[in-house]
Amino acid sequence: MRAQRIYIDTSVIGGCFDPEFALWSNDLFHDFALGRLQPVVSTIVAAEIVQAPTQVQEKYTDLIAAGAEVLSVSKEARELHDLYVERRILGSRYSNDMLHIALATAAGVDVLVSWNFKHIVRFDKIRLFNAASLELGYHSIEIRSPREVTTYEQD
């Protein structure tokens, strides 16, 4: 059985160092290290990481070195993003948030994981993103927090 492909946005990587989110972000990274789940990131994550603290940048570098899949912005992802913008699912200030979802959807990942409860991990927004994606022939995407995805059980 293949490991599920899990797209993580920048908040999950930074969450490894945030007392509120560290347990679940680090458990997710442990699942990646054990091969239970396959990490997927994007060139958007790479661009956002440049502004992050050094420890977050190092965590990202380690993830890439360990074989994380890196998605580039494709024509399909751009079309999805543009539909999300047209539908005003989020304001234009949050273009990268919409692009994360478009990239993950177009690439057919199993789950997009984020700590962004304001714009991404939100029931009403998830429904809107999936409705737009279905119109263009894509499957709906699961969007969850790391707490809902990790399979690692601590002793």
Q: Which of the 8 DSSP states describes residue 57?
A: H
* Assigned domain for 154 exists: no
* Assigned domain for 155 exists: no
The reported pLDDT for the residue numbered 92 is 87
The pTM score is: 0.93
Largest CA distance in the chain: 48
CATH code for position 30: 3.40.50.1010
| Total tally of structural domains belonging to the chain | 1
Nearest C-alpha neighbor of 71 from the set 131, 112, 33, 21: 112
Q: Which domain holds residue 111?
A: 4-149
- Crossing angle (nearest 10°) for helices 123-135 and 95-106: 50
Full pLDDT tens readout for the chain, 155 residues: 788 999 999 999 999 999 999 999 999 999 999 999 999 999 999 999 999 999 999 999 999 999 999 999 999 999 999 999 999 999 889 999 999 999 999 999 999 999 999 999 999 999 999 999 999 999 999 999 999 998 766 54
* Assigned domain for 83 exists: yes
The reported pLDDT for the residue numbered 152 is 65
* Assigned domain for 34 exists: yes
Q: Please report where in the chains the tokens 């499957």 appear, as a residue.
A: 139
Q: Please report where in the chains the tokens 């962004």 appear, as a residue.
A: 116
